[in-house]
């Protein structure tokens, strides 16, 4: 006969593990970039290279008495885009696992496929920011108000109206830095109600220079403490969806398993256009600025 106290060790076989209903799903970032680029390039059902022809502003000339004008002609160029990205996500679920599992693991993973593919597009688009020819700031250093104002000037010098279909794309780290700047938080600049939101609720202004501010966790990070932020007119990046996310299912008899695959096909590119200067046929990306920051 044993003596002593009943403990969790001796009572181990009587103490069960209780599975709580439901699952803890992984966090998902907001998808922000894809819905703020040019979606006007439509897939027509075939072709892997799409193009648009650029048209310049025509130059004027002085008309001299008794002499004819010279006809103006330009050799125009095309903007091309390749549809060359095929993203996919796949799962394979054995029937025995489905029968014995208390949770619908297959169903949960299928839901996650949609987010995975949407996330892949935003990441692809964010990687294009570093190709913008106009830049301000230094990677790893907080952007200043001077940097932001210079970015606005880049667009205005080119003839863009920043408050018309343009967006600031900013990392959470850059948001934190801007919240410490008076222009983004002091009532003298942003008004009492907005300043209260910034200081007591941790919010950032929704616009700066009348341009919407979008905070996204999916910006490219060249190195720790660095992010490719951007100021961009919608037309400066175009996205063609040749195939929206499509789900395929099949049962593999020899494996006694169900396979689910979701895939999408698309292309995206920075879009260059001729500047306003009469007769210019050199295409540039004057409607976008790479904001090197944190």
Candidate from 64-73, 146-155, 197-206 with smallest mean pLDDT:
197-206
β-pair partners for 269: 238
Contact 238, 81 (CB under 8 A): yes
How far apart (Å, rounded) are the C-alpha atoms in residues 33 and 293? 18
Work out whether the CA dihedral 273, 277, 282, 286 comes out positive or negative. Answer: negative
The percentage of residues in the chain with a pLDDT greater than 90, rounded to a whole number, is: 84
How far apart (Å, rounded) are the C-alpha atoms in residues 205 and 162? 16
User: Where do the domains of the chain lie?
Assistant: 34-52+80-270+282-293
pLDDT-derived band at 201 (thresholds 50, 70, 90) equals: very low
DSSP string, 251-294: EEGGGTEEEEEEEEEEEEEE--EE-SSTT---EE-TTEEEEEE-
Those residues with Cβ within 8 angstroms of residue 289's Cβ, 6 or more apart along the chain or in another chain: 132, 134, 135, 136, 151, 154, 155, 230, 231, 232
Report residue 263 as tokens. Answer: 């895939």
Alpha helical stretches, state H, the chain: 95-100, 105-126, 145-158, 172-178, 182-185, 187-190, 192-201
How far apart (Å, rounded) are the C-alpha atoms in residues 179 and 183? 9
Q: What pLDDT, in 10s, does the model give residues 127-153?
A: 999 999 999 999 999 999 999 999 999
Distances from the Cα of 21 to the Cα of 105, 129, 230, angstroms = 13, 43, 43
pLDDT averaged over every residue in the chain: 92
pLDDT-derived band at 196 (thresholds 50, 70, 90) equals: low
Contact 73, 253 (CB under 8 A): no
pLDDT value of residue 4: 84
How far apart (Å, rounded) are the C-alpha atoms in residues 290 and 162? 15
How far apart (Å, rounded) are the C-alpha atoms in residues 128 and 239? 12
- Tell me which fold the domain 34-52+80-270+282-293 belongs to: phage-related protein like fold (3.90.1690)
- For the chain, first and last CA: distance in Å? 69
pLDDT value of residue 183: 72
DSSP string, 125-139: HHTTGGG-S-EEE-T
Q: Looking up tokens 């106290």, which residue turns up? A: 5
- Residue 202: pLDDT over 50: no
- Residue 112: pLDDT over 50: yes
């Amino acid at each position: 006969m044993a003596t002593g106290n009943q403990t969790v060790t001796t009572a181990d076989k009587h103490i069960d593990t209780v599975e709580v209903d439901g699952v803890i799903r992984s966090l998902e970032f907001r998808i922000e970039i894809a819905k703020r680029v040019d979606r006007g390039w439509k897939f027509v059902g075939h072709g892997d290279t799409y193009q648009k022809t650029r048209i310049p502003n025509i130059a004027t000339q002085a008309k001299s008495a008794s002499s004819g004008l010279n006809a103006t002609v330009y050799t125009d160029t095309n903007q091309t885009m390749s549809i060359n990205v095929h993203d996919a996500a796949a799962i394979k679920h054995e029937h025995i696992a489905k029968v014995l599992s208390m949770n619908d693991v297959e169903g949960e993973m299928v839901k996650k496929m949609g987010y995975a593919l949407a996330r892949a597009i935003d990441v692809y688009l964010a990687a294009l920011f570093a190709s913008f020819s106009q830049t301000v700031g230094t990677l790893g250093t907080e952007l200043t108000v001077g940097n932001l104002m210079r970015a606005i000037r880049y667009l205005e010098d080119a003839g863009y109206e920043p408050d018309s279909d343009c967006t600031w794309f900013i990392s959470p780290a850059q948001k934190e830095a801007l919240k410490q700047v008076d222009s983004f938080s002091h009532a003298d600049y942003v008004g009492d109600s907005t300043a209260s939101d910034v200081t007591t609720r941790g919010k950032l202004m929704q616009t700066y220079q009348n341009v919407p501010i979008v905070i996204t966790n999916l910006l490219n990070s060249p190195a720790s403490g660095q992010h490719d932020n951007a100021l961009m007119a919608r037309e400066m990046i175009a996205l063609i969806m040749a195939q929206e996310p499509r789900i395929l299912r099949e049962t593999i008899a020899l494996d006694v398993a169900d396979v689910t695959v979701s895939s999408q096909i698309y292309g995206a590119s920075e879009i260059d256009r001729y500047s306003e200067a009469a007769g210019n046929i050199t295409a540039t990306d004057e409607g976008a600025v790479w904001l090197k920051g944190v």
